[in-house]
Amino acid sequence: MTIPKEMNCIEITKPGGPENLVLVKRQTPKPSLGEVLIKVSAAGVNRPDIMQRQGLYPPPPGASDIPGLEIAGEIVEINADNTRFNIGDKVCALVSGGGYSSYCNAPVQQTLPIPKGLSFVQAAAIPETFFTVWTNVFDRGNLSNKDTILIHGGASGIGTTAIQLAKSFGAKVYTTVGSDEKCIKTKELGAELSINYKKEDFAEKINKYTNKKGVNIILDMIGAEYFEKNLNLLSVNGKLIIIAFQGGFEKKLNLMPILRKRLTVTGSTLRPRSSDEKGLIAESLLKKVWPLIEKGLVMPQIYGTYKLKDANKAHTLMESSQHIGKIVLTV
């Protein structure tokens, strides 16, 4: 396969709104040692992409300034020894940037074969959300089949993934969403209790439902706005796992619930972590989650697709929060 000297990609012309996402031509990248070059067929859209466009989440040193953290496509060049991949392999990958393009480099450790039976669009919706959920809910949270987990933002890409995985591993799942339609969908995915937070106080609802026993684990992407309620809902030895702060990141804190109930408050972000760390997550997914996907027990939920040139429209939809599941760009 001949690799063109130039590729199409989306550039952020300046921090601001979706209108600042522009299709341009750039030089096709060459893979560094330990990387593969992927001809991209599809790229997932995620909240960090929105934050990068707004100037709030710059790429880490050495990463591409092109947005996009997850891709699916075909390997066209390899610059690595002892890799399980060959030219022509169909793969998906977690990247630190550069996904909104027709060619993108990916570290070998962060590259995975596409699960059997999945399309490029479906595969592109996997890496960012599945890596995030696995490292937080399972590695940091140590979720077991005896646990009850509350997942905020249950209709998001992260939320729909977390619901399915937690349910598949035997946990009891509660979630919060922003519409009755989303309540129905998240219940279909495995949530036992789905609360429309615009109509009901989720803390009151869960306390009543559990007879004030609360939950063992909370996966939170809201941050400061929910912090106090989250602490009060956790049972003894419970864990609050924060992965975003859509409701702010500053809060006057009462430490007493943490001490009294021996709570753990933790959180993480993927992008700055090393390829070796991400590689360990990839191996866990390949071993423990890929079989579930290939059996159809867990599936990325695709809400809509847009062509690469219409990345601005994809961002507008994501910011509206009307979607359920993932938004994907096709290249």
Query: From CA 238, how far away is CA 21, in angstroms rounded?
Result: 41
Q: Which pLDDT tens digits describe the chain residue by residue (331 residues)?
A: 799 999 999 999 999 999 999 999 999 999 999 999 999 999 999 999 999 999 999 999 999 999 999 999 999 999 998 889 999 999 999 999 999 999 999 999 999 999 999 999 999 999 999 999 999 999 999 999 999 999 999 999 999 999 999 999 999 999 999 999 999 999 999 999 999 999 999 999 999 999 999 999 999 998 888 999 999 999 999 999 999 888 777 888 888 999 999 999 999 988 889 999 999 999 999 999 999 999 999 999 999 999 999 999 999 999 999 999 999 999 9
pLDDT value, residue 246? 80
- What's the distance, CA 76 to chain centroid? 26
Print the SS3 string covering the chain. CCCCCEEEEEEECCCCCHHHEEEEEEECCCCCCCEEEEEEEEEEECHHHHHHHCCCCCCCCCCCCCCCCEEEEEEEEEECCCCCCCCCCEEEEECCCCCCECEEEEEHHHEEECCCCCCHHHHHCCHHHHHHHHHHHHHHCCCCCCCEEEECCCCCHHHHHHHHHHHHCCCEEEEEECCHHHHHHHHHHCCCEEEECCCCCHHHHHHHHCCCCCEEEEEECCCHHHHHHHHHHEEEEEEEEECCCCCCCCCCCCCHHHHHHCCEEEECCCCCCCHHHHHHHHHHHHHHCHHHHHCCCCCCCEEEEEEHHHHHHHHHHHHHCCCCCEEEEEC
Closest CA to 241 of 322, 166, 325: 166
CATH number for the region 6-126+273-330 comes to 3.90.180.10
| Residue that the structure tokens 């500053």 belong to | 250
CATH number for the region 130-267 comes to 3.40.50.720
Cross-strand bridge partners of residue 135: none
pLDDT value, residue 88? 97
pLDDT value, residue 218? 98
pLDDT value, residue 82? 82
Task: Output the CA–CA distances (angstroms, integers) from residue 194 to 129, 132, 185, 186, 319, in the order listed.
Answer: 20, 22, 9, 7, 22
- Domain borders along the chain are 6-126+273-330, 130-267
Query: From CA 291, how far away is CA 300, in angstroms rounded?
Result: 14
Q: Any residues with CB less than 8 A from the CB of 17 and at least 6 apart, and which? A: 53
